[in-house]
Amino acid sequence: MSEDDIATLRREHREIKKTLGEIQKTTAFYQTRFGMAEQILTAVKKGSAKSPSYTPEFLRDPQYIQTIRNLCVQAIYSRWNLQKEPSTLVHVYYSVERKIREMVNNRQWNTMTWKIPGRKTVDRRTEETAAAKHWPKETPCLCVRAGYYMPNPALFEEPMRSELLKIAEKWS
């Protein structure tokens, strides 16, 4: 193969690559428009359409999610140990936020890789502390009433288990 042939192949390769990039942009544009049209048609036919799911990039790291869940569990247990009452979502959020800021100051939380979670993220992770699908065995917490969480009595021995059950009954 001659130098001219190689130069021609390189030029053609660059042109094909450029064209492919343009085609991918155009396809993505039409794919988005097609999806929107499908949503509208479904809504017109059925009266409603299921919203497409979306997971932000920062929530795709399972270790990040589990770390926030664990901080929520710590917040719930901490309030229980200090005040013997369930934690509200607000209590958990402020406790988690305070702990993360402390971790940032101690260089234990890298804000370049993990952002400080917002209220909705912490609320969802708190709800997951009482959801069986997120834990290998018993859940660490129990939702005793909408927005109120306490340690799971199943994880304790007597007499603490009985004490937890009494308070859970009072709040449910």
Q: Note down pLDDT in tens along the chain; length 172 residues.
A: 788 888 888 888 889 888 888 888 888 777 777 777 888 888 788 888 888 777 777 678 899 999 999 999 999 999 999 998 899 999 999 999 999 999 999 999 998 889 999 999 999 999 999 999 999 999 999 998 999 999 998 888 888 888 878 877 776 6
Identify the pLDDT of residue 172. 65
pTM (predicted TM-score): 0.69
Identify the pLDDT of residue 26. 81
> What's the chain's Rg over C-alpha atoms?
26
Nearest to 77 by CA among 145, 170, 156: 156
List, edge to edge, every strand of the sheet that includes 87-88.
87-88, 148-151, 141-145
Residue length, the chain?
A: 172
Count helices and strands (H / E) in the chain.
5, 3
